[in-house]
Structure formats: C-alpha cells, structure tokens
Amino acid sequence: MAGAQSKYGGAKVRFPPPLIFLALVAGGVVVQRSIWPIAIHLGLWSRIVGGAIALAGLTMVIAARLWFKRSGQNPVPWTPSPQLLVDGVYRLTRNPMYVGLTLFQLGLGAALDNLWIAALAPIGLAVVHFIAVRPEEAYLTERFGQSYLRYKAAVRRYL
C-alpha cells in the first residue's frame, strides 16, 4: 500500500502534525502584528467563546492521549499501533487529536482577537489531512484490515 511504511513500522508520516498548527499560530501572530492586523472585534464575547472553543479542543486532545496511554500505545503517528483505538473520544471522530488542535487554534484566535490565527486553523487541518491522516489511514487499513474498514465506515474522519 502506498501510504503504509511496513507491517512492522507505523504510518508514513514525516513531520509532527502539532508543529503544523504551532507554525500557523506563530504565522498568524506575525501577520497580525506586522503585516495586516485584522481583529475579530467581539469584545468580551470573543474571549469567552474563543476560550470555550480552545478548552474544548484541548480537552479532546487530552482525552485522545489518555486513550493512547491506557492502551500502552505511543501517539506518535510513525510508531507501530498494536491495537485499534475505537472507544472514548474515538467513537466521535477517528482523528480527535487533529480535530482538537484545530478547535484549539480557532478558539485561541477568537480569544486573542486575531482573525489570522483562527482563519489559518482550517488550513492547518487541510495540511495535516495530507501529511498525516491519509498515510495513517493507509497504514491502519494495512495493519487492521476489515476491523479498521468497519470502524472507518461507522465513525467520521473529523466531526
């Protein structure tokens, strides 16, 4: 399979996905401060709603990491997966860490009144889709076969 590294390795992911989101947050700060400032201008509501969205995203990331820890697995995508995670937050989405990071970035942008940070969040998810999600799906299909295909048919990729 083109996206799978091997039966013994993990997915063919070459770059840590969280760094994509971190780079785009930093890019949003740079653009806001030095190139083209665009604020969201919802006052206190931006901070409240943005904070709630960021907290929901962070909660999703933590919940996903806890499922990895409980199963004795490493969440780093290029490491082997000894078992398929399908419980907890993985019943809602096949990619809770990436959804969580996207929500966190959206919320952070709103809370900081920085439209650039928020607007770059979907771009981050799109980049991660191609550099991580697609290779992970290929690897999991190769590794778990019909079990993963049934899970894939039952649970959405994102939300």
Note the pLDDT tens digit of each residue in 23-35: 999 999 999 999 8
pLDDT at 2 over 70: no
Q: How confident is the model at residue 157 (pLDDT cuts 50, 70, 90)?
A: very high
- pLDDT at position 7, please? 55
Q: How far apart are CA 102 and CA 65, in angstroms?
A: 16
C-alpha–C-alpha distance, residues 95 and 37, integer Å? 32
pTM of the model: 0.91
pLDDT score of 79 more than 60 = yes
Whole-angstrom distance, CA of residue 4 vs CA of residue 144: 12
Q: Among residues 91, 117, 92, which one has the least CA distance to residue 102?
A: 117
Residues 6 or more apart whose Cβ sits within 8 Å of residue 128: 17, 20, 21, 98, 101
Residue 153 corresponds to which tokens in the numbers above?
Answer: 């048919």
In the predicted structure, residue 45 carries a pLDDT above the cut 80: yes
In the chain, domain spans: 43-154
Residue 42: predicted pLDDT: 75
| Summary mean pLDDT of the chain | 92
Give the residue from 38, 52, 43 showing the smallest Cα distance to 106: 52
pLDDT at 128: 98
Q: What is the pLDDT of residues 55-71, one digit of tens each?
A: 999 999 999 999 999 99
Ranking 37-51, 79-93, 111-125, 140-154 by mean pLDDT, the lowest is: 37-51
Query: Using CA atoms, how far apart are residues 90 and 151, in angstroms rounded to an integer?
Result: 10
CB atoms within 10 A of CB 116: 22
